[in-house]
């Protein structure tokens, strides 16, 4: 079997082998971070307890709201520019670096000002947010990763960042044994970004490139920002949509509620990499089908949605009955009240799985990027309104209900509100109700 696989791989073109190898490195990165990351987070949560762990996650969530200004939605745009204008690589990468550096400084300022405004007397929160937000400044060096992606050499990024991840993971375990204070764990978060940046610079130089050769351009900066501003707005909406629940829970109820809620989101989101990997693999064939036939296109899309529904049900149904046991085993008795919260949160994977198909395939193929911006913005508004209503009544459980309804609204219900999306909406309905089994598909 192994010999046959090796022989098959050897028959592929050098470029295709390079692409497959690149994807393998990226998947290895996700598996390592998920596997080791969940274990370490569980240890930290047990050590800190719900209240301090909640405060740490509150600070992380607040910083995340402004993180889009550190990335500026440049990823795909910069890589495309490198593909189209390889001779201008130093100008493109250099400009991306400066833009990301300025954006990350803005993100730091916004996060710090916000925490001073909403928690004026909480000095520890001020320090935590300032330290964690400082880590985003080192994300400017992710401009180097654009070059590696362009060269199909993501293994260097994976090695650089995973080395930093492993080092900081060891540091975190040592901190637990030393009974370190909370603020030191916040410093570890920024340290990982710092070490990752150093690793990227070393890898860049190893590939005979140098930061000194980068040539930022004002004209190029204007061009990049003209294209990325809609993505920045969408990114802000998405981060509000994904993170505002923890911030609102912390403000309205307290840090302990955030701690219990945070562990449930960690567990429920463990599976999120699955649809991303599957969709990335099948997207080209579905896009190709659209060029030849709408019938074939929607047939393949339906099969993908069917698969996503089966995977989501296979995760959500067992976790519905095992939620409390999983929480207690992983995080300890202090987090047992999160059992019923996790029961709700695991069902968000249903709409997440289907939503990835819609956003990464249907929206791209149909050219509906403005619709994507509108639905995410509406999702953020719905989430905020539901949190204002449900959190005072049901606390963390209310935040979970708000999240589930928001996901369902954005990824499913919006399909029927927006006429061009109704066909994909009915395809989702068929997958959700498992009608494809009845019809023998």
Name which of 363, 249, 348, 343 is nearest 301 in CA terms: 363
Please state whether the predicted TM-score (pTM) of the whole model is above 0.95: no
- Residue 2's pLDDT is what? 43
CA distance 28 to 425: 33
- Residue 36's pLDDT is what? 79
What is each CA distance from 327 to 42, 172, 266, 338, in whole angstroms? 9, 21, 11, 7
Burial class (CB in 10 A: 0-12, 13-18, 19+), 13: exposed
**Number of other residues whose CB lies within 10 A of the CB of residue 358:** 28
Chunked in runs of 10, what are the mean pLDDT values of the chain (441 residues)? 50 57 62 78 94 96 91 78 80 88 95 96 96 94 82 78 91 95 96 93 83 80 84 82 90 94 89 78 78 87 93 94 91 92 94 90 81 86 95 94 94 93 94 72 44
In the chain, what are the domain boundaries? 19-252, 258-441
What is each CA distance from 343 to 44, 300, 336, 401, in whole angstroms? 23, 31, 12, 10
CA distance 107 to 66: 5
CA distance 375 to 414: 7
Alpha helix (H) ranges present in 66-153? 68-71, 75-84, 89-118, 123-134, 143-150
The residue whose two tokens read 């899309």 is: 301
Name which of 287, 286, 284 is nearest 300 in CA terms: 286
């Amino acid at each position: 079997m192994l010999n046959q696989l090796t022989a098959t791989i050897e028959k592929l073109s050098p470029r295709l082998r390079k692409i497959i190898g690149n994807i393998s490195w990226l998947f290895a990165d996700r598996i390592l971070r998920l596997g080791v990351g969940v274990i370490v987070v569980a240890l930290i949560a047990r050590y800190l307890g719900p209240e301090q762990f909640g405060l740490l996650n509150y600070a992380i969530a607040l910083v995340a709201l402004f993180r889009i200004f550190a990335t500026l939605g440049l990823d795909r745009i910069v890589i495309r520019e490198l593909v189209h204008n390889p001779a201008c690589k130093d100008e493109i990468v250099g400009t991306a670096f400066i833009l990301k550096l300025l954006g990350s400084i803005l993100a730091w300022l916004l996060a710090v000002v916000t925490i001073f405004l909403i928690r004026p007397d909480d000095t520890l929160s001020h320090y935590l947010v300032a330290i964690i937000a400082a880590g985003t400044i080192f994300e400017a060096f992710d401009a180097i990763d654009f070059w590696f992606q362009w060269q199909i050499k993501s293994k260097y990024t994976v090695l650089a960042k995973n080395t930093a991840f492993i080092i900081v993971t060891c540091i975190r375990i040592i901190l637990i044994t030393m009974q370190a204070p909370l603020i030191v764990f916040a410093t570890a978060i920024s340290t990982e970004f710092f070490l990752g940046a150093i690793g990227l610079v070393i890898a860049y130089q190893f590939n005979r490139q140098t930061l000194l050769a980068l040539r930022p351009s004002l004209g190029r900066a204007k061009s990049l920002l003209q294209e990325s501003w809609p993505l920045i707005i969408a990114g802000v909406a998405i981060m509000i949509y994904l993170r505002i629940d923890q911030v609102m829970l912390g403000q309205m109820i307290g840090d302990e509620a955030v701690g219990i809620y945070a562990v449930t989101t960690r567990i429920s989101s463990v599976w999120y990499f699955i649809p991303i990997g599957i969709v990335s693999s099948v997207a080209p064939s579905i896009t190709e089908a659209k060029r030849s036939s709408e019938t074939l296109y929607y047939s393949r899309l339906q099969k993908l949605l069917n698969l996503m529904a089966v995977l989501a049900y296979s995760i959500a149904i067992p976790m519905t009955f095992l939620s409390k046991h999983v929480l207690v085993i992983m995080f300890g008795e202090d987090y047992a009240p999160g059992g019923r919260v996790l029961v709700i949160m695991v069902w968000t994977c249903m709409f997440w799985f289907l939503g990835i198909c819609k956003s990464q395939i249907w929206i791209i193929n149909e050219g509906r990027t403005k619709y994507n911006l509108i639905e995410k913005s509406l999702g953020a508004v719905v989430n905020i309104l539901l949190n204002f209503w449900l959190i005072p009544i049901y606390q963390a459980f209310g935040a979970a209900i708000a999240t589930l309804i928001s996901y369902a609204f954005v990824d499913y219900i919006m399909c029927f509100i927006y006429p061009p999306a109704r066909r994909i909406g009915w395809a989702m309905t068929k997958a959700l109700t498992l009608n494809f089994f009845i019809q023998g598909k």
